Amino acid sequence: MTNAKRSMLASVSALIFAAALAAAPAFAADKTYQATGPVLEVSDTSITIQKGKEKWQIARTKDTKVTGDLKVGTKVTIMYTMTATSVEAKGDAKADKAADKADKPAK
């Protein structure tokens, strides 16, 4: 194999590897869930359905794709994803318990 071919093969391999790495987080965030039930309430910002004995209110945006006639009483299947909007770490639970134990007087 000539140096030019090796160089070309290495470049293509590197591009494929970089594309795979860049796409990995996108695939991780694409986990979708579904909820099915009759519509109880519809607004521009949410859809509320009855799922078993629970009422589920799911947010929607102007980009939410709706097919069919979305109205109260219609049975729907909603596809949704879960994405964290913020995270607050509270500390190490095991370390906190050990500190509490050390602070208590012996009986």
d(Cα 32, Cα 21) in Å, to the nearest integer? 21
**One digit per residue, pLDDT tens: the chain, 107 residues?**
677 766 666 665 555 655 665 665 555 557 999 999 999 999 999 999 999 999 999 999 999 999 999 999 999 999 999 988 999 999 887 766 776 777 766 66
Beta strand 46-51 with 75-80 is: unpaired
Cα Dmax for the chain = 81
Residue 94's pLDDT is what?
74
Ramachandran angles phi, psi of 78, nearest 5°:
-105, 125
Q: Are 80 and 32 in contact (CB under 8 A)?
A: yes
